[in-house]
Amino acid sequence: MTNNSLLLEIRNLKLDFGAGDGAVRAVDGVSLSIREGETLCLVGESGCGKSVTALSIARLVPTPPASYPAGEILLQGRDILRMSKTELRDIRGGVVSYIFQEPSTSLNPVFRVRSQIMESLKLHRPEAATDDEIVRLLKLVGIPAPESRMRDYPHQLSGGMQQRVMISMALASQPKLLVADEPTTALDVTIQAQIIDLLRDLKQRLGMAMLLITHNLGIVGDIADRLAVMYAGQIVELAPANELLSRPLHPYTQALMHSVPKLSGQAKRLTAIPGSVPNLGAFPSGCRFHPRCPKARFDCPERPPELLEVLPGRWVRCHYWDAALPEPHQALNPNNPALIQARQASGN
């Protein structure tokens, strides 16, 4: 992990949709941080709350119908949830920029690429609002012949090229944090790899921090410094990427990894996670993953697990996370019933 200073800190964020008895909680006590230059990937199935968490960073979720009953979102030490509209305007597209899933719907079809990037420059860096800067930005994201392509309309570009234009618009303001919400989902597999390579390259060259939102664990290995896995509105595992990918500790993370196709080794049938993500407002009791968990035990439907730092830098929300470790480490889990029973028996 990088030792740079803290850029973003989300503390105990709660986000509700609706009001009164009909309110449903989409984000329930999420805490995350991102340091300058760091890439954090937020992974989970559709509907787990990852996109609304990401949109909350620039307060892009309309309130109402949403409300924030608790929590703080500290960006460079200032709480986004308590900012005025003018302060928020400076943050959006200035300190934080977004890339979304569908470039074809994010770009305006009636304006040429040039005028769309120019608009972003005029808003955030008026001193740099020139054709030379547009060409430089398009070159930065790997668009060939940028002098002529900037005169194209979006429909004249392929999906991959459209996403590159979106990335250049996001970079026009020289953001400290780039939030990429499923940036490759609408693209072909080969183009997905190119866009991930491009994001990794830009992160290294420009030194910006990145929050990458994805449902696909298969694309994060090459780019993430740390990974956070989300389920039913909560973080269930958070760890350095290499450690989490080599030994996931939460049964949900393990199941997600088993559902990713591998290019090497013997061809194996992919394992689907049984059932589906619970609906907002209808979360199961105890551990929210228990109806789908292959490792659930008798007390999982009754005892909600806390997110605990079980090893240095490794946070897990599961009573039985230590089942994934080799035998000598198993006693590390203070919630392990066998350990509790043994302690009670010995009177300690």
Question: Which stretches of the chain bind ligand SF4, using CB under 6 A?
Answer: 251, 287, 289-290, 293, 295-297, 300, 305, 318-320
8 Å CB contact between 234 and 317: yes
Residue 47 CB neighbour total at 10 angstroms: 16
* Minimum CB–partner distance for residue 184 and ligand SF4 (Å): 28
Q: How many whole angstroms separate alpha carbon 186 and alpha carbon 104?
A: 9
The type of residue at 236 is V
Collapse the DSSP code of 270 into the 3-class scheme (helix H, G, I; strand E, B; otherwise coil) and give the result. Answer: coil
Q: Nearest-5° angle of CA 103, CA 105, CA 106?
A: 60
**99, 160 contact by CB (below 8 A):** no
Here the tokens at position 310 are 């079980």
Distance CA 151, CA 163 (A): 16
- Residues sharing a CB contact under 8 Å with residue 17, sequence separation 6 or more, in sequence order: 23, 24, 26, 65, 66, 280
Q: Which helix (H) or strand (E) holds 192?
A: helix 189-206
- Report the alpha-carbon distance of residue 164 to residue 303 in Å, rounded: 46
Q: Beta partners for 78?
A: 75
Return the SS3 of 267.
Answer: coil
Residue 261 near residue 251 (C-beta atoms within 8 A):
no
